[in-house]
Amino acid sequence: MSGDASDALHDPATTDIRGRRDQLRAEEGPPVVEALETYRLTVNGREREVEGAWIGESLLYVLRERLGLPGSKNACEQGECGSCSLMLDGVLVASCCVLAADAVGGDVRTVEGLSPEGELTDVQRAFVEQGAVQCGFCIPGMIVAMHDLLDRQPDADELALREAISGNLCRCTGYGRIFAAFHAVKEERARAST
């Protein structure tokens, strides 16, 4: 993988983990090529080819480092923080806990696929208007989780929201503005439907 364009990417946590992965790959011994695979994923409605990947790579890693989709964020890599949340076959999951090669045949929808390129969803717009974003790192996962809740339960109240985002950790906003954005979306949708 050295020399790969993705080496230019930044995140120290990712680099560190990739370093360990490269080491693991090397330990597997020759012929290394047998450990690498090419497979196809359906991401945001498009067929994407993943070439020469190690089968142990998470879906989060493949999206960010191989497919150029850095919207899903990489923080804990253990399902604790929710910043890598996306929809797999219509179900909200933490993509750090999904093997990319096990998502073959599945429908992957990331934060980038929530709306046509260059446009914001109503939830995203509400986050901007309500000032629900500070550092922003948790926000893509938060947006995906909030869309999932409102899709499943359009009349969800704040208690339901608190439970729905209990696995999306935000360390800056104190959540108050995030709740405000949620109420703004609900009001806007209620107005639109009358």
Partner 1 sequence: MKIAHPRTLDEAFEALQRMPGAQLLAGGTDFVVEVNFGHRRPPAVVGLRRVAELQGWRRDDGELVLGAALTFTEIETQLAGELPALAAAARTVGSPQMRNAGTLGGNLGTASPAGDSLPVLAAMDARVVLASQAGERTLPMTEFVTGVKKTAIQPREVIREVRVPRLRGPQQFLKVGTRNAMVISIACAALVVDLDGRSVRCGLGSVAPTPVRAAEAEAFIAGEIDWDGPHAAAGAVARFGELAAAAASPITDHRSTAEYRRRAVQVICTRALTRSLA
Binding site for partner 1 (CB under 8 A): 17, 20-21, 23-24, 27-28, 34-35, 37, 54-56, 58, 77-80, 82, 85, 91-94, 96-99, 101-102, 104-105, 145, 163-164, 166-168
Residue nearer to partner 1 on the CB measure, 97 or 120: 97
- The Cα 85–Cα 76 span in angstroms is 12
CB of 93 to partner 1, least distance (A): 5
CB of 70 to partner 1, least distance (A): 17
Residue nearer to partner 1 on the CB measure, 44 or 58: 58
95 phi/psi in degrees, rounded to 5: -70, -15
Looking at residue 114, its amino acid is L
CB of 94 to partner 1, least distance (A): 4
